[in-house]
Amino acid sequence: MDEPQAVAADHNSTADTAALSGLKFSKGHGTGNDFVLVADPNGTLAVTPEQVAALCDRHRGIGGDGLIRAVPSRLLPEGQELLTRTPDAEWFMDYRNGDGSLSEMCGNGVRVFVHFLITEGLVDLPAGESLTIGTRGGAKTIVRTAAGYAVDMGPWEFIFPGEATARAMDSLVSAAGLEVARPALSVSMGNPHTVVALAELAELQATQLFTAPHVDPTPPHGTNVEFVVPSEPLVHEGVGTITMRVHERGVGETQSCGTGACAAAVAIRHWAGQGAPDVWNVQVPGGVVGVKFFLGAEGHEHVELSGPAVIVASGTLS
């Protein structure tokens, strides 16, 4: 698992992107979580963290929460290692946060990545069929559905399992707009998340996410922080519903976070106790994603994330 690497914020966008002149790109999003996407079938594109940050700059670049490079798995060391276990993961989602730092993966980004591969003619995926791709968070299998894509995000786990089991919380989170620190539960979806439950939507709206919340203790590789309000009633016709905002490490607040939605459902389901549903709707500022729990082939519980993916524009850097 790669630890994010800090990137200086005072980059010169024009200078940083000058070497990328002529680069073909697309812009896409999944429930408002947006990305710059580039195809690199020969594995020859070298993009520096500063260039990623410049491309994702919303005022002087293309703008996005991150950059996704589509590259054959065999052309990356981490992709080659993954192919020894999952030989059908032909394409690798090389994902960078908006500040240029590496990230393990992104749930919304996976859907947009596969949609990009289809749009670019790099894969053929009719509705109902599946595709396996590589990420730094492991291989992910995606099914194309009538409404978008459903992704097997793999098994979830508590980052601090002893505390999660004994006390149903493992850390305290402070954020601007909240009067006191709140108990939280940390969940790994291949990348780290810390989930805080709030009582009311007004409290969620008052929480300020311009700066990163303070998490004590912080998971070893940093963490994304989700603030969640359970609906009242929590469950309707067998489906749980929650509303969420998120601060993503290396990005800030985003319109949606797929792995964060999964982690939020894990935490709320754990707090709800026995009888909590396996199917959830997670409302985020950018729309609604679905989360479903099911038993994986190896006996561990997996999480499926479903939702739309859209390519909104394509172009060439001047």
Q: Active-site residue 257, yes or no?
A: yes
Q: Which helix (H) or strand (E) holds 161?
A: helix 161-167
Give the Cα-Cα-Cα angle 252, 256, 258 (nearest 5 degrees).
110
The whole-number pLDDT of residue 13 equals 62
Asked, as a colleague might, if the bond just before 72 is cis with ω within 30 of 0, I would say no
Supply the pTM of this predicted model. 0.89
Contact 39, 55 (CB under 8 A): no
Q: Active-site residue 56, yes or no?
A: no
- Across the range 275-290, mean pLDDT stands at 97
Alpha helical stretches, state H, 168-307? 201-206, 258-272
The whole-number pLDDT of residue 16 equals 75
Residues 6+ apart with CB under 8 A from 97: 4, 65, 66, 103, 248, 249, 250, 251
Alpha-carbon distance of 43 to 168, in angstroms, equals 45
Residue among 7, 67, 106, 195 flagged as catalytic: 106
The whole-number pLDDT of residue 14 equals 63
Residues 6+ apart with CB under 8 A from 242: 228, 229, 230, 231, 234, 264, 265, 268, 280, 281, 282, 283
As a whole-number percent, the residues of the chain with pLDDT over 90 amount to 90
Residue among 39, 118, 164, 257 flagged as catalytic: 257
Type of residue found at 194: T
